[in-house]
Structure 1
Amino acid sequence: MQDTPSPRPIGPYAIIAAVLLLLIGGFAWAAGWIGPKRLSGGDVADALEHNTGAPQPGYRRAHSKGLCLIGDFVANGAGAALSKASIFAKGDYPVFGRFSLAGGNPLASDGRNVFRSMALILRTPDHQEWRTGMNHTEIFPVADPQSFVELQRASTPDPKTGKPDPAVMKAYLARHPETKAFQDYIKQAVLPNSFGNATYYSINAFRFTNATGEERFVRWQMVPETAVEGLDKAKLDSLPRDYLFKEMVARTAKGPSRWHLIVVVANPGDVTNKATVAWTGPHKTLDVGTLTVSKVETEEVGNCRDVNFDPTVLPAGMAPSDDPLLAARAKVYSTSFDRRAGEKPGPSAIGQDLNARESAR
């Protein structure tokens, strides 16, 4: 009977080579050199610039028209049941941020049925930081970065008509019923007549972890103490160009505006990876504190212009969900920041107007 030769043991050099190949392969995949092409922040920024018609040097590629805000957040301690983040410990914490409108044209009219947005940076004495960017709608028109790029291209205005090509947009909507559903939603939704009376939504889901290690998916809302009043959508064309920004300046001069931070806890089965899907029906909610905006400033003198409101900058106890838009937002915000950092800063539309009035005094 012939002996079967024993297999040779794998030598240390072969193991090292295998590990190196694995590391190189992983790096190449992460870099996008192999596997399906993944969008970069530059791809999304390019699509935004394409939609606008030309980049506006010195301005954000999205939400380019904005106003700085300053205030504080008073946590009531209830949020500690959901997250160990220091911002939810009972106390008073400084806040700064930005009100803005969707779009890449800083001189665009406020008479558009587009996102009103609030971006914030909240900091605690132990050097934790929470950055968040919220819109006044509960849902978003797309669920993933590729769809967002496709939407920017499909909705790019034709230079001859000033409107998107109907055939191109129709073909896009046929492939993306979620965008059509958003269009129907925003047509019916109230369009706030002030930044100060709008509810702002996280839109994306996040994961909270408390001190005992319990994890929950959540979304949140900034709910104003002032009742919302809506604009007449049939008369948006007659709205003064900077109506919303001037209104917020005048409102704040009379007194602060306040919102309650309401955290909504996901139910079993709630979708956490698609910002196009609203959570419906009864949910557990917690009022975890009050945001007060006591001052607004133009971007020329405020501290919000040269800031990246990346929503994935989170304190311990808070983490992104599996929503692919979150990683994409981080990438494109970074790209937009880098591009405008190399350009001469430009004044906001509202800033030009206010500065002219100040000079005339």
Structure 2
Amino acid sequence: MSLLDDLAGAGPAMRPRAVILRLGAIAALVAGTAGAFAYAGGWLSPHDLTPARIVDRFERVNGPHPGFRRNHTKGLCLAGRFESSGRGERLSKASLFAPGQITPVTGRIALAGGRPYAADAATTVRSLALRFHLPDGEEWRTGNNDIPVFPVRTPEAFYAQLLAAKPDPATGKPDPEALAAFFAANPDSVKAAALIKARTLTAGFADDTFRGLNAFRFVARDGRQTPVRWAFVPEHAATAESPAQGGRADENFLFDGFASAVRRAPVRWHLVVTLGEPGDPTADATRAWPSERPSLDAGTVIVSETEAEADGNCRDVNFDPLVLPAGIEGGDDPLLGARSAAYAQSFTRRAGEPKSPSAVHDAPVAGAGL
């Protein structure tokens, strides 16, 4: 129904007032939409941090790579299912946690960094992004990394860290003085960096643990809310990376190893949910929760297929961490909103750019035991 249709049904005395009200509402909507685009572009506040400026910095640090994600650029698509244990149902009304529920899953494994053809390195942060396809069109999208905590607490610190950690072309390493200045200004990142450096490097993706890092809230059917963090813990026993792996000639050895593992049998991760208690930090991803916090195994992600990135698969998905089903809500961590906005900016840019083939040339494969 149009504005003219609405006014045609109003009495003569009401029409001028109706026109004013409706035009005012339209003007407010247009202004609000324009304001959102202006903010995203960095036009209204030239000195404020915006999603566009974050993505610009990724491009400055890593160079231009049209058509690719600006971070976690090198990746491989996966598909499978989630089998609920039923234990999560008491904490969340999300349908995927119902006892016996089987939910289709698609996703992506990747390496941090913005260079699509960089050689795999065991020390590079690995990621597991998943998209749970719930009934009635609901989705849960989650991005997880194989580090115990996030290196920074705020979007502003993340922006500064990107530049401070930029490798010098002459040495291939960051400028020590720039890093020292960053850590001096961000002491919470010093402890986080030590925890990240001390993590165990596993042989590959299949035996690695991937954590959500940010705190979220599970919402039960009675409205009760519980702060949570989660991790995808491998069913396959972790094997430490050997010195020989560091010198492999295969530039895609981590991705090739994962695809080979799936060919042999489905790869499984348990979704382990940790329950927060009063006083646990929910707005600071640089701080881990106490190890004695209770946890539960909510179910198992079973990956049975891998596929190279191409039109229409995981390459064209924005794994926005705030795409959540009823029963899961974002917390008060400032990084969540910043991640969501920056992901959208990156997605918008690459959607309009020409595409190049992925460095990981994996034909579709399926494991046994579907």
TM-score greater than 0.5 by the shorter chain: yes
Q: Is the 8 A contact 1:86 1:128 kept in 2?
A: no
Q: Is the 8 A contact 1:111 1:237 kept in 2?
A: no
Partner Cα separation in structure 2 for residue 313 and residue 340 of structure 1:
20
TM-aligned CA distance change 1:313 to 1:205, over 3 Å: same
What is the deviation of 1:112?
4.5
- The answer for the alignment partner of 1:280 in structure 2 is 290
Unaligned runs of 5+ in 1: 1-15, 356-361
Matched, 1:82 2:91: yes
Q: 1:131 aligns with which of 134, 141, 145?
A: 141
Aligned-pair Cα RMSD in Å: 2.5
Partner Cα separation in structure 2 for residue 161 and residue 282 of structure 1:
43
What is the deviation of 1:286?
1.3
| 195-204 vs 109-118, greater mean Cα deviation | 109-118
- The answer for the alignment partner of 1:330 in structure 2 is 340
One-letter amino acid of the structure 2 residue matched with residue 330 of structure 1 = S
* Structure 2 length-normalised TM: 0.84
Partner Cα separation in structure 2 for residue 42 and residue 302 of structure 1:
25
One-letter amino acid of the structure 2 residue matched with residue 348 of structure 1 = S
For residue 196 of structure 1, give the secondary structure of its aligned residue in structure 2: coil
TM-aligned CA distance change 1:44 to 1:234, over 3 Å: farther
- The answer for the alignment partner of 1:240 in structure 2 is 250
- Per-residue CA deviations over 1:234-275 (Å, capped at 9, x if unaligned) read 963546311100101111111101111111110211000011
Q: How many residues matched? A: 332
Q: Is the 8 A contact 1:111 1:238 kept in 2?
A: no
Partner Cα separation in structure 1 for residue 238 and residue 221 of structure 2:
36
One-letter amino acid of the structure 2 residue matched with residue 70 of structure 1 = A
Partner Cα separation in structure 1 for residue 312 and residue 123 of structure 2:
27
One-letter amino acid of the structure 1 residue matched with residue 64 of structure 2 = P
TM-aligned CA distance change 1:58 to 1:84, over 3 Å: same
TM-aligned CA distance change 1:36 to 1:342, over 3 Å: closer
Q: 1:40 aligns with which of 50, 53, 68?
A: 50
One-letter amino acid of the structure 1 residue matched with residue 53 of structure 2 = D
- The answer for the alignment partner of 1:187 in structure 2 is 197
Structure-to-structure mapping, 1:289-304, within 5 angstroms: 289-300=299-310, 303-304=313-314
One-letter amino acid of the structure 2 residue matched with residue 79 of structure 1 = G
- Per-residue CA deviations over 1:133-172 (Å, capped at 9, x if unaligned) read 0001120100111111100111112222222211111111
Q: Is the 8 A contact 2:122 2:241 kept in 1?
A: no
- The answer for the alignment partner of 2:239 in structure 1 is 229
Partner Cα separation in structure 1 for residue 78 and residue 238 of structure 2:
20
TM-aligned CA distance change 1:231 to 1:302, over 3 Å: farther
One-letter amino acid of the structure 2 residue matched with residue 71 of structure 1 = G
For residue 50 of structure 1, give the secondary structure of its aligned residue in structure 2: helix
| 106-115 vs 219-228, greater mean Cα deviation | 106-115
Q: Is the 8 A contact 2:148 2:199 kept in 1?
A: no
TM-aligned CA distance change 1:238 to 1:247, over 3 Å: closer
What is the deviation of 1:303?
1.2
Partner Cα separation in structure 2 for residue 35 and residue 100 of structure 1:
34
Q: 1:49 aligns with which of 56, 59, 68?
A: 59
- The answer for the alignment partner of 1:149 in structure 2 is 159
For residue 360 of structure 2, give the secondary structure of its aligned residue in structure 1: helix
Q: Is the 8 A contact 1:111 1:239 kept in 2?
A: no
- Per-residue CA deviations over 1:22-78 (Å, capped at 9, x if unaligned) read x99x969986688995422111111111111x1211110000000000000011222
One-letter amino acid of the structure 2 residue matched with residue 253 of structure 1 = R
Q: Percent identity between the aligned chains?
A: 44
Q: Is the 8 A contact 2:144 2:212 kept in 1?
A: yes
For residue 197 of structure 1, give the secondary structure of its aligned residue in structure 2: coil
- The answer for the alignment partner of 2:74 in structure 1 is 65
Q: 1:250 aligns with which of 260, 265, 270?
A: 260
Partner Cα separation in structure 2 for residue 314 and residue 245 of structure 1:
28
- The answer for the alignment partner of 1:100 in structure 2 is 110
Structure-to-structure mapping, 1:258-269, within 5 angstroms: 258-269=268-279
Partner Cα separation in structure 1 for residue 249 and residue 269 of structure 2:
26
Partner Cα separation in structure 1 for residue 55 and residue 201 of structure 2:
27
Partner Cα separation in structure 1 for residue 237 and residue 340 of structure 2:
33
For residue 287 of structure 1, give the secondary structure of its aligned residue in structure 2: strand
- The answer for the alignment partner of 2:354 in structure 1 is 344
Unaligned runs of 5+ in 2: 1-20, 364-370
| 223-232 vs 290-299, greater mean Cα deviation | 223-232
What is the deviation of 1:114?
2.1
One-letter amino acid of the structure 2 residue matched with residue 293 of structure 1 = V
Q: Is the 8 A contact 1:84 1:210 kept in 2?
A: yes
Q: Is the 8 A contact 2:142 2:212 kept in 1?
A: yes
- The answer for the alignment partner of 1:318 in structure 2 is 328
